[in-house]
Structure 1
Amino acid sequence: MGRLTITLDDSLHQALKEASARQGRPIGKIIEEGLLLRGIKPMEGARELVAKARRHSGLSEEEALEVGLAETRKARS
C-alpha cells in the first residue's frame, strides 16, 4: 500500500479528524472513499468498466472505435 503526504488547510484537517473520530474510521479510508466517489479509480477498474461497456453495447471493436472518434471530434469542435 502506498503512502502519501498532503498539506491541508488547518480547518479542513480538523474537520477530517473530527469526521474520522465520529465515524470510527481511519482518515485514510475517508479520503479513499472520497477519491472513489470522484471517479478516481485504479486502472484495472477503468479497464473493466470499458470492457463491460463494450460487452453491453453490441458494437464490434471497429464500430466502437468509429463512435469514439466521432464523439471526440464533436467534443473538440
Structure 2
Amino acid sequence: MSRLTITLDDDLHQALKETAARQGRSIGKIIEESLVLRGIKSMSHARQLVEQARIRGECSDDEATRLAVEETRDLRTR
C-alpha cells in the first residue's frame, strides 16, 4: 500500500478527524472513498471501461477508447 502526504487547511483537517472518529473509520479510508466517488479509477478499471464500451458499441478499439474517456470524464464531473 502506498503512503501519501497532503496539506490541508486546519479547519478541514479537524473536520476530517472528527468525521473519522464519529464514523469509526480511518482518515485514509474516508479519503480513499472520496477519491473513488470523484471518479478516480485505476488503469485496470479504465481498461474494463474500454472493453465494455467496445463490446456494447460493437466498435473499433479507437472508438471504444474515445467512449471510455467520455464516460470517465462524465463520472468525474458528477
Under TM normalisation by the shorter chain, which class is it? 0.7 to 0.9
Structure 1 stretches of at least 4 aligned residues deviating more than 3 Å after TM superposition: none
Aligned pairs, how many? 65
- Report the aligned-residue RMSD: 1.6
Question: Aligned partner of 2:6: which letter?
Answer: I
Q: Identity percentage over the alignment?
A: 65
Shift of 1:8: 0.3
Question: Aligned partner of 2:43: which letter?
Answer: M
Q: Say whether residues 1:42 and 2:42 are aligned partners.
A: yes
Give the structure-1-normalised TM-score.
Answer: 0.75
Match of 2:32 in 1: 32
- In structure 1, the gaps of 5 or more residues are 69-77
Shift of 1:52: 0.9
Larger relative contact order (Cα-Cα within 8 Å, sequence gap ≥ 6): 2
Give the structure-2-normalised TM-score.
Answer: 0.75
Evaluate the alpha carbon distance shift between residue 48 and residue 9 of structure 1 in structure 2; reply closer, same or farther with a 3 A threshold.
same
